[in-house]
Amino acid sequence: MNIESKRLILKEISWDDLEDIHRLHSFPEVDEFNTLGLPKNIEETKEIIRPWIEGQTKVPRKSYTWKIILKDSNDFIGIAGMNLSCDKFKLGEIYYKLLPYHWGKGYATEVSKTLIKSGFEIFHLHKVEAGVSTENIRSIRVLEKSGMTREGLRRKILPIRGEWKDNYHYAIVEDDPMD
């Protein structure tokens, strides 16, 4: 399943994307608020993405991971994903990661809004959620610009480089106003 926005294509990942995803996960700036940590080698990245790729054939489908590609150049700029509850709660949790030289251009907000819209229109969710480290000011702004509301604080839930960090919980429900 591919999803398009004005400037971006979100295309499901494959093994052909291993090197790009490894490069993305190898940037210290991308890892700053990431619970994965920097991969030691490409084999470690391969094991991280294995369930993402193998999950593409599961029924019901519980997760989607897309590479983010610029429409005008076909360049890989990051990844995005959605995890689905597949139950009566009709929840989806979104995430995104971009290569640092693509930060500040509105791509993360475009991805977030596209995932939210897809959550409601394609996956028929009631609620789309996202978690963000309380220190990740850039991503907090992205979620708020995307129409999400901060619903709460989860204390010391994120294991990041040997420390437990706090996480804000953001969400938007299907009948919230969207632009």
Task: Encode pLDDT of 91-109 as tens digits.
Answer: 999 999 999 999 999 999 9
Domain boundaries, the chain: 3-125
Q: Please state which architecture CATH assigns to domain 3-125.
A: 3-Layer(aba) Sandwich (3.40)
Residue pair 90/124 in contact (Cβ under 8 Å)? The answer is yes
Q: Is 36 helix (H, G, I), strand (E, B) or coil?
A: coil
Give which of 70, 67, 100, 97 is closest to 5, Cα–Cα. Answer: 70
Separation between Cα atoms, residue 40 and residue 10, nearest integer Å: 27
> Mind listing the pLDDT tens digit for each residue in 115-140?
999 999 999 999 999 999 999 999 99
pLDDT for the residue 160:
93
pTM: 0.95
- For 53-74, what is each residue's pLDDT tens digit? 999 999 999 999 999 999 999 9
Q: How many CB atoms lie within 10 A of CB 34?
A: 18
83 neighbors 62 (Cβ within 8 angstroms):
yes
Q: At a CB cut-off of 8 Å and minimum separation 6, what does 60 contact?
A: 84, 86
**Tens digits of residue pLDDT in 137-149:** 999 999 999 999 9
Residue listed under structure tokens 């500040």? 104
